Structure 1
Amino acid sequence: MAVTFQGYWPSHPRYYFLGGPIVMPCAIKALATSSDCHGYRTNEINEANCLAEPKRSWTLDVIERDVLAQLRADLSRYRMLAHRLRLRRSAKGLSDTLVTCDDLDMSLSIVFSHVYNGYAHVVALEEIRNRQLTLL
């Protein structure tokens, strides 16, 4: 599943600057699920998975709580920025005179990447949990 607009991914500010559609959180989750990316915490998750029980389950639970808390915060920020982008577009439309992205475009692209990584971490944790159930 490719989500691009004029050659840019939603993780690039020009995607929003050029008028790319706002990617809904469920679509971001689908992108993360269908990709091979497991997020920047892959090493930490794999190291925790190699621990002996019950420390393995406890450490994975701590990581999962942290990932979910951060994902909730990122989703909240993403929704707020997406709303601001919709308001800007409805007020101004797409401007032909602007040549650079503004702070909103940059913030939205960064938070998209955070949400994508958060979902990638959730997918990685689910895969581990499905392979071996917790013993706690």
Structure 2
Amino acid sequence: MKQKRILTPEDYHPGHPWYYLLGGTPPFPKQILERVKKHGYRGYKQRYIEEAAAKAEPDRSIALRAIKDDSRNSLFANLSRYREVARGLRKYRENPGEQPCFCSDVHQSVSLKHNHIYNDFAHLIWLDELLSEQRDLFDF
């Protein structure tokens, strides 16, 4: 008879609600940043950033800085909310009798905020790389 395998948080990425349902600890922002760097992820704004990077100077730098400002503001807002939902998860876990046996809003909230931070970091890393290169003003 085949034994059933028990799932653990390691079976899921911190961006998945089941990671938290199974007891996974929300990663610190520094850990999220390191994971982004390790995987070389560019984020969901890839096409938007590529279009801005393809422009001629000075429009290129202006567009990239605007995207960077938006991404930085998004990161700060998402970090603030991430702290709130992580505290909510901790409180939720302190009342084990009240927990359902399925994924709840608190698990989804933490995973969603993790993913937003993951994308914000990816955008900012790439934008820093692009802004560190000055294109020739006469580059056609």
Instruction: Give the TM-score category using the shorter length.
Output: 0.7 to 0.9
Structure 2 partner of 1:20: 24
- TM-score between both structures, scaled by the size of structure 2: 0.84
Cα deviation, residue 99, structure 1? 2.3
Q: Secondary structure at the match of 1:20?
A: coil
Percent identity over the alignment?
39
Moved more, 63-72 or 85-94: 85-94
Superposed structure 1 runs of 4+ greater than 4 Å apart: none
Cα deviation, residue 93, structure 1? 8.1
Within 1, Cα distance between the matches of 2:98 and 2:134? 50
For structure 1, the 5+ residue unaligned runs are none
For structure 2, the 5+ residue unaligned runs are 1-7
Number of residue pairs the alignment of both structures matches = 130
**Would the aligned equivalents of 1:64 and 1:125 in 2 still touch at CA under 8 Å?**
yes
Q: Which structure has the larger Rg?
A: 2
- TM-score between both structures, scaled by the size of structure 1: 0.86
Cα deviation, residue 90, structure 1? 2.9
Root-mean-square deviation over aligned CA pairs: 2.2
Within 2, Cα distance between the matches of 1:6 and 1:65? 34
Deviation string 1:21-43 (CA, Å, 9 cap, x unpaired) is 11001101111112121000111
Structure 1 partner of 2:43: 39
Deviation string 1:26-78 (CA, Å, 9 cap, x unpaired) is 10111111212100011111111111111111111111111111111111111
Structure 2 partner of 1:68: 72
